[in-house]
Amino acid sequence: MKQIDVGQGFFALIDDEDFDRVRAVKWWLVRDPNNFYAKRNLKVGTKWTTQTLHSFVLRVARGSRIDHKDHNGLNNQKNNLRPATQRQNCRNRRHTGNRFGFKGVFFDPRGRRHFGAAVRVGGKRIFAGYFATLEEAAMGYNQKAIEIFGEFAHLN
């Protein structure tokens, strides 16, 4: 593993085999609302555009989606990158937080089991069950998320 300086004190991680090809290009740091990424300027025909480091490393076409398994946009080692659809990439999104600190968990005061778990798919809520403890509800969410999203499930 090697590091490439992308500015502002940040470094991108890449595989040793990609080092020479990557370091020959000037990379800069980009921050989106949830992550940091490395990009470069690229001239295509007569127009300028940008290319992400993860696209450069995997040599994918413009517009292709790539998912960072560990959610670190600066970790561009091939074992951390995988092709993904927009939907799959969203499914692997980090949990932004609720009052319980677990993804897909909610409070239900009506019965003896006070915590529920559900997974959202296409705007619909798929119920995973009611549970006696918060931790059990989090695990219930995890099981349902794996069942529905497979390897792209982001778990509690």
CATH 3.30.730.10: which residues of the chain? 97-152
Q: Yes or no: is domain 97-152 CATH 3.30.730.10?
A: yes
Selection from 97, 149, 98, 138 nearest residue 116 by Cα = 138
Rounded average pLDDT over 129-147: 94
For 58-72, what is each residue's pLDDT tens digit?
998 877 899 999 999
For 1-24, what is each residue's pLDDT tens digit?
999 999 999 999 999 999 999 999
